[in-house]
Structure 1
Amino acid sequence: MKKLATVFLLLNVLLASCSDDDNRPTPDAAQPGKPYTVSGTVKDGSGNPISNARIRIENPNGNNIHYTTTSNNAGQYSITVSAIGGYKIYAWKEATTENATYQVRLGMESNSDYDAFNVPASGVTKNFVWKLNGRIPDRVVSNENGSGYFGGTVKFINYNSFSDQMAPGTEVTITLTPAAGAKFLDGTSAAGRTVEKRFTIVDGVGQAYYINDIPATQYTITATCRKDGSNKLVYIGAGNPDAFTPNAEYYFRPESGSGSYESGLGSPNEHYFYMRMMSN
């Protein structure tokens, strides 16, 4: 009987030990308030907190390893992750205008913040800021697709149905003037923020020209050109080589879908402009 009692006692100790091991968190377990936490702030260009921004942490090399959260009213967020390395972090903010709803990619404080990183046991800080223009360091620049910049891209085509194309060497100046009362996607006023871009006509078959990294808002577009010391007006055809006007109204359309790692603005190939040099 004493031996049997001893066996039961040992079994109870073993069972209790197994139960404790089952409930004990593993070193990589994601526990709120525990180590391996990524936290930071989300602010606009003036330093004001941004609430309800979406933050996503992912491991591109993992088996769909990702974590998501949103910023609070103070613009703060915190996510506890596993100790696995190689994370990348992104943030988006939904912006609604009278024209459309955008899923805007938010920027970071320094270029190195866009790189993959490990999360130490002590945690790491990653802060976001809403950028209206500038390079997106972790994206490849493509003028043709309007990618690689926080700002938008506009496409112009050197063709019309009435006269010859502008000759190679002609310098074209595009002026984008914000419409009255226009605001950027972050809600700040666009008044007085006129954008001027230039490109030079080249020889060859491809006569599409792109101006990029323009803060998204509603603009009035005008154009002029200069060749051999002579200045000319350039009329604009909004998606039509048969109908030209001295100016054109334009706003940047949103990218289709729920957002991507680009700016959130649509491709310049969806809405573009033809050019016609006037004799004046």
Structure 2
Amino acid sequence: MNQFWSIKQQLTKNMLHSVRILSSAFLLLIGSLSILTACTKQPVDPKNPTGVDPGTSGQDGYLVGKVTDPQGKPLPKATVFVDHTVFTGDGPEVKTAADGAYKVQMVDFAGEWIAKGYILKQYNDRVYKIDLDPENDAPFTSTEKPVRNFQWKLTGHIPDLSLDLYYGGTMEMSRDLNADDLWDNENIEFTLTPVGPLIDGSTGKVLKLQAKKRYNDTIKDIPMGRYKVTAVYKPTGEQLLVRNAWDFSDELVYEPSVTMDFLGTESATRFNSMSVGYTNRH
């Protein structure tokens, strides 16, 4: 009997030794795999800190997308935010990364949200706020995985067709009170010649613009830039004199041409607009 217990104890010791060896080997294998995984882990891309691959499927709990400039290149430092369709002004906002990508953590709140965006652009010592054009302006809920891409456009109608709003600037026409007639302002042709690059750095074109109908004193959707402005009365070919109508200096001086900028954010009501005064009184 003693011999039997001696053999049993020896077998138990051998089994425990084998288990220890297997456990050690298993732990060594796990450690090796962890080291290998750590070595092969991809570092954070400084050009894509959000980790978002814009244009692909969305992410749970986030709104993701990309913002591009008028040439289709990534646009960093643009602002994207979400606005509730009922309780406006309560949504979070973020800035785009160097690659134009963004990721907004959604608020778990009932109802639908809309993604919006804008940029603040410094140009000729002024700051301009410009809305971004959404690729998809459909509302979404916080439980979806929405993807909303945006582009900065120089011109074009803002998606809400109920509003007469455009991405381009607005030029107001201001007839001088002492002008002879010139009530038919739809017959006045304004020539806008770019002075330097446009607001996005691109080369602009010479524009010839007229009001669409009589008494319509605005021309909309002009690419934002600095322009030299001249005017001609089309029925007679007479060159008119022009001025910056928002220059409220003591003397109202009209010249054959005037170089003008659109107002920026320094104006609360007429931002992205300019006003050209005109007359035929020399």
In 2 relative to 1, CA 89–265 (structure 1 residues): closer, same or farther, beyond 3 Å?
farther
1:237 aligns with 2:237: no
1:135 aligns with 2:141: no
5 Å-filtered alignment, 1:49-128, equals 49-62=74-87, 64-81=89-106, 82=108, 84-109=110-135, 113-121=136-144, 123-128=145-150
Counterpart of 2:278, as a letter, is: M
In 2 relative to 1, CA 138–59 (structure 1 residues): closer, same or farther, beyond 3 Å?
same
CA contact (8 A) 1:169 1:200 kept: no
In 2 relative to 1, CA 184–200 (structure 1 residues): closer, same or farther, beyond 3 Å?
closer
What residue is the counterpart of 1:149 in the other structure? 166
CA contact (8 A) 2:155 2:168 kept: yes
Gaps (5+ residues) in structure 2? 1-57
1:159 aligns with 2:206: no
CA RMSD in angstroms comes to: 3.0
1:215 aligns with 2:215: no
Equivalent of 1:247, from 257, 263, 267? 257
Deviation at 1:106, TM superposition (A): 1.3
What residue is the counterpart of 2:277 in the other structure? 274
Q: Deviations over 1:138-193 (max 9, x none)?
A: 37545xxxxx11111111122243x42214486111110001xx222222233xx1
CA contact (8 A) 2:126 2:265 kept: no
In 2 relative to 1, CA 273–265 (structure 1 residues): closer, same or farther, beyond 3 Å?
closer
In 2 relative to 1, CA 52–265 (structure 1 residues): closer, same or farther, beyond 3 Å?
farther
Structure showing greater relative contact order (alpha-carbon pairs closer than 8 Å, 6 or more residues apart): 1
TM-score of the two chains, using structure 2 as the length reference: 0.68
In 2 relative to 1, CA 46–36 (structure 1 residues): closer, same or farther, beyond 3 Å?
same
TM-score of the two chains, using structure 1 as the length reference: 0.69
User: Quick one: distance in 2 between partners of 1:124 and 1:194?
Assistant: 40
Q: Deviations over 1:15-45 (max 9, x none)?
A: xxxxxxxxxxxxxxxxxx9623211111112
1:225 aligns with 2:228: no
In 2 relative to 1, CA 92–168 (structure 1 residues): closer, same or farther, beyond 3 Å?
closer
What residue is the counterpart of 2:23 in the other structure? none
1:175 aligns with 2:175: no
Aligned-pair identity in percent equals 20
Aligned residues: 221
User: Quick one: distance in 2 between partners of 1:244 and 1:234?
Assistant: 9
In 2 relative to 1, CA 256–87 (structure 1 residues): closer, same or farther, beyond 3 Å?
farther
Deviation at 1:278, TM superposition (A): 6.3
CA contact (8 A) 1:223 1:235 kept: yes
Deviation at 1:131, TM superposition (A): 0.5
In 2 relative to 1, CA 94–238 (structure 1 residues): closer, same or farther, beyond 3 Å?
closer
Equivalent of 1:199, from 199, 211, 234? 211
